[in-house]
Chain A
Amino acid sequence: AQKVTQAQTEISVVEKEDVTLDCVYETRDTTYYLFWYKQPPSGELVFLIRRNSFDEQNEISGRYSWNFQKSTSSFNFTITASQVVDSAVYFCALRVGRGSTLGRLYFGRGTQLTVWP
């Protein structure tokens, strides 16, 4: 079975602080992808990044960075110098590619990030 756990329900920070959102996943598949989505109040889920199970290279994109560690089954997301516009719900999701699970995204319950001015 697949499972994604985001233990942090809500996080509040003040603008310009760094913030890390945690994601832990469970799967027995050896081939899988991990995704982060952002959902602002408008409702749309915005795709941010994906990582596959064979690529543990971490990435920095502007103020965003991701830390993928297979040894701990974690795929954490860090925002550096947070801004008010970063306020949103962030979802971590897992996708495997076999059988009846084709097409499914397994979402964590989401982390509400609020950035105060």
Chain B
Amino acid sequence: DTEVTQTPKHLVMGMTNKKSLKCEQHMGHRAMYWYKQKAKKPPELMFVYSYEKLSINESVPSRFSPECPNSSLLNLHLHALQPEDSALYLCASSQHTGGVRQPQHFGDGTRLSIL
């Protein structure tokens, strides 16, 4: 079983809906990440949080809004998404961003479909 838990597993939403993706880890990690993965492609980094502060935003459109309420939780708020935003959204965590040797541990992802 993965130690990074993502909910929901699947999400279908219209372009005018507002929804949120949730990610939780209890490994004491202080770095958390959001990735977007299209079919047959590698994951693409979206956001990095380090000690609950946003440290990297890869020029992601504002219709994606991340939030890190505490060290264990990471949310991704979605609003007015486009069909091309349909993808697998992966959450990951690591001990902290500065440790090059630390692997990132990934969740199962949320499969998002925009109608």
Do A110 and B42 have beta carbons less than 8 Å apart?
Answer: yes
The smallest C-beta distance from B1 to any residue of chain A, in angstroms, reads 10
Q: In the complex the two chains form, what is the Cα distance from A32 to B50 in whole Å?
A: 20
Chain A residues with Cβ below 8 Å from B90 are 43, 45
Q: Which among B31, B43, B97 has the greatest number of chain A C-beta atoms within 10 A?
A: B43
Which A residues contact B (CB, under 8 angstroms)?
A: 31-33, 35, 37, 42-47, 50, 52, 91, 95-97, 100, 102-105, 107-110, 112
Pairs A–B under 8 Å by Cβ, sample size 8: A35-B103, A43-B111, A44-B108, A44-B109, A45-B92, A105-B104, A107-B42, A109-B42
Which B residues contact A (CB, under 8 angstroms)?
A: 2, 31, 33, 40-43, 45, 48, 50, 55-56, 88, 90, 92, 94, 97-101, 103-109, 111
